[in-house]
Amino acid sequence: MPITGWNDAPSDAITKFNFHNSSLWLRTLARVPFFERFAYPIAVKRGLGTIWFPEISESRFEEFLKIGWKVKYGYPSDHELFLQGSKALLTQSPRSFRKPRIAITRLGKELAWTKAIHRANGTQNLLRLESSPFDDLKN
């Protein structure tokens, strides 16, 4: 049985949850094993879930809008990809990449890998400020 926000997104869609703008109890719930699956439907209902569909998709967007998803088309912008650690800057001075410590929950793993990537890239201060060297207006 699909749970909203947990495993109901189509395979061709990209999802992102903004737990940083949520209450402390919701962030805590998302970090507790087993109970984390209940945090995602709450986040979607509060408008903290964003889903991107490719330009050509057979999914019904209206259903996701009714549930509470923020629906976008195409792919995340360079700014959003940079903040989640999927897009990095090239540098002349390489730093060693340390695998993050063990994280049990989905949110914990995402945050640990994002932090490790930005630490190795030397852009951890930009991550704290939620800024990016990529111009968000170009996408």
pLDDT tens digit sequence for 76-122 = 887 777 777 776 666 666 677 777 878 889 888 888 888 888 777 77
Q: What is the pLDDT of residue 99?
A: 79
Q: What is the pLDDT of residue 137?
A: 43
Residues 3, 40: Cα–Cα separation, whole Å: 8
Q: Are 35 and 59 in contact (CB under 8 A)?
A: no
Q: How far is CA 42 from CA 18, 31, 47, 60, in A?
A: 12, 14, 9, 21
Q: What is the pLDDT of residue 139?
A: 45
Residues 17, 49: Cα–Cα separation, whole Å: 5
Question: pTM of the predicted model, to two decimals?
Answer: 0.74
